[in-house]
Amino acid sequence: MSAGDDDRGGLHDGGQPAATSRAGRRLVFVGCCVVVFVLGSVLIHLAGRSPGATRRAGTGAATRAGPASPAGATLDATADAEVVSCGTSALGYAAARLAVTNHGAAAMSYLVTVAFRSPDGREKITSATTAIERVPPGRRSATVTANSVDMVSRAFVCRVSSARAYAPQTP
């Protein structure tokens, strides 16, 4: 075995044992991974900010003053969503008919969550989420049904708990 070779066939820095140089390489690798993770997190956070997003005065409805939102960015559109009807399905599951009105300048898709609550609103019984695709600007969507996965045998009310608007994917 020549000088500088370790007993596993790899070379190491002449003055340091092989384990020390491997540990140093691991430390550099872990450090690089941490830097990449932090930079990626910062970029994702910055991409999540939606330049040009404004609020329509008095309604709380999300609107767009500029181009469509960046890929993956969403806008709070809870004020744009409404419960059209509330009840149970033929099989006894909580169900709500929902619609959204697009107050923006571009077509948007929506992800709406409805909470089924006790009549006094204090207790959440269950919830359901549904998607409403490609609503043209200035238009109201067709109604869609959000069905819970829980059977409900007692009285409840339906409330939109959240709605997120996002730029629809191009086909």
Residue 131: inside a domain: yes
Domain containing residue 107: 73-166
Length of the chain: 171
Establish if 53 belongs to a structural domain: no
Contacts of 3 (CB under 8 A, 6+ apart): 14
Residue 121 CA, distance from chain mean position: 26
- 30-75: per-residue pLDDT in tens? 665 555 555 555 445 444 433 333 323 223 333 333 334 455 578 9
Residue of 121, 136, 128 whose CA lies nearest to 163: 128
We report the CATH number of the domain holding residue 153 as 2.60.40
Residue 93 contacts residue 151 (beta carbons within 8 Å): yes
On whether residue 155 sits in a domain, the answer given is: yes
Asked, for residue 20, whether it belongs to a domain, the answer is: no
Yes or no: say if 73 and 48 are a contact pair by the CB < 8 Å rule.
Answer: yes
Is there a domain that residue 95 lies in?
yes
Check if the beta carbon of residue 93 is closer than 8 Å to that of residue 152: yes
User: Model's pTM, two decimal places?
Assistant: 0.58
